[in-house]
Structure 1
Amino acid sequence: MPGVNSPVLVAEAKAVKNDAGSNSKEKILAAATTIAQAHGYGGLNFRDLADAVGIKAASIYHHFTNKADLGAAVARRYWQDSAAALDARRAESADPLRCLRDYPDTFRKALQTGNRICLCSFMAAESDDLPEEVLKEVRTFADVNVAWLAKVLSEAGVVEAGQSEARAGAIFAAVAGAQLVARSRSDLALYDMLIDGYRAAGLLPS
């Protein structure tokens, strides 16, 4: 039977500790994302966050050095998850036009969940007060969406060569804007009406 200081037991203990730490960090990120979607970066508070996760506020500092570090991690995880979801959507569909038609659904789902909006759109509205490391990740979210849209627009043959990025930027701004307007009125039907208007005007494929 191995002793308490055996390499096997020490390795197992470290693995358990690392798993627990990783799980705690994921819970913090998940709770922080929920709070930020409802209240923005300014609404992130370590004490409230700790209460939501069920830990001491001091424990958050084991994973994030300060609020800016946490905010950057939340925004980074958000755009990474969004990028993965967009890539998965394109990989699962042989029709790029269908992907473009379905694109607004991503923003619609946030409104369906407690009338929330895209986390990075919320944080972008706070850009004057964001630390540089947070703002960098927030801007990356927009860059990722525009790049994906530009690629799919080209694949679908919707725009002429050289026009895909401008059209992609317009679509992203319009859809994010529709989400913001609908959220301000707590009106999901308004979002759908605005998206239908974009399709009627030719901005989005119908």
Structure 2
Amino acid sequence: MSEAVGERMRAGSRESILAAARRAAQAHGYGGLNFRDLAEDVGIKAASVYYHFPSKADLGAAVARRYREDTAAALEAMWAETADPVLCLRRYPDLFRRSLENGNRLCLGSFMSAEYDDLPEAVRREVQAFADANVAWLSRVIAAAHGAAPEACAQRARAVFSAVAGAQLMARSRSDIALFDDIIESYRKTGLLGQIG
């Protein structure tokens, strides 16, 4: 086997581990990351998981980082698709809805936030960075729609992020995606996810 083929296989294994770990963490949180179970899910030996991620903390931080990066890319793609900031704000909950559609899972950032006290420092930093990235994007969208002062935009952004994450949590606890939709619609009717004023 050539060195290039071996490198591609290692990269593929790493990506498969990250994907499996993301599914596990969205369903069971950081505590649900188990190297033996991940290895079985991916179809490799547990030692191979340790090759890529020497510790559970390394794996947890890598999963949370990738989740944050993927979410940031999705938010930027949404912004690029439309110049309408109000439409972006209305579409924002769709990112959280997708987790519910995928096996009644939670946003990884939300799940790990609930475990914050028990997380290794590297994972904590990624959880905070996830929330910060969401709030920064929402602040930018709100500023584009309304032109309010930066602190007012940040305050509203934190409210939107918290409200949408809370709606997801409530819907998950009842395995009821329709409840999520109803709560989000109520946010739109009250103006939290609609006209900004």
Per the shorter chain, which TM-score range? over 0.9
One-letter amino acid of the structure 1 residue matched with residue 149 of structure 2? A
Corresponding residue of 1:19? 8
Corresponding residue of 2:110? 121
Whether 1:92 and 2:81 are equivalent positions in the alignment is yes
Corresponding residue of 1:57? 46
Give 1:109 shift.
1.1
Percent of aligned pairs with the same residue? 62
Alignment map for 1:14-163 (pairs within 5 Å): 14-157=3-146, 160-162=148-150, 163=152
Corresponding residue of 1:5? none
Q: List gaps (5 residues or longer) in structure 2.
A: none
Q: As a proportion of its length, which structure holds more helix? A: 2
Q: Secondary structure at the match of 2:64?
A: helix
One-letter amino acid of the structure 2 residue matched with residue 193 of structure 1? D
Alignment map for 1:156-195 (pairs within 5 Å): 156-157=145-146, 160-162=148-150, 163-195=152-184
Q: Distance in 1 between matches of 2:177 and 2:76?
A: 26
Q: Distance in 1 between matches of 2:172 and 2:97?
A: 10
Q: Distance in 2 between matches of 1:180 and 1:67?
A: 25
Which deviations, in whole Å up to 9, do the C-alpha atoms of 1:91-128 show, x marking residues without a partner? 11121111111111111111111111101110110001
Give 1:155 shift.
0.7
How many aligned residue pairs are there? 194
Q: Distance in 2 between matches of 1:126 and 1:32?
A: 16
Q: Distance in 1 between matches of 2:105 and 2:50?
A: 27
Q: Secondary structure at the match of 1:61?
A: helix
One-letter amino acid of the structure 2 residue matched with residue 51 of structure 1? E
Corresponding residue of 1:7? none
Give 1:200 shift.
2.0
Q: Distance in 2 between matches of 1:81 and 1:198?
A: 25
Computing the radius of gyration from Cα coordinates, the structure with the larger value is 1
Cα RMSD for the two superposed structures: 1.1
Give 1:13 shift.
1.6
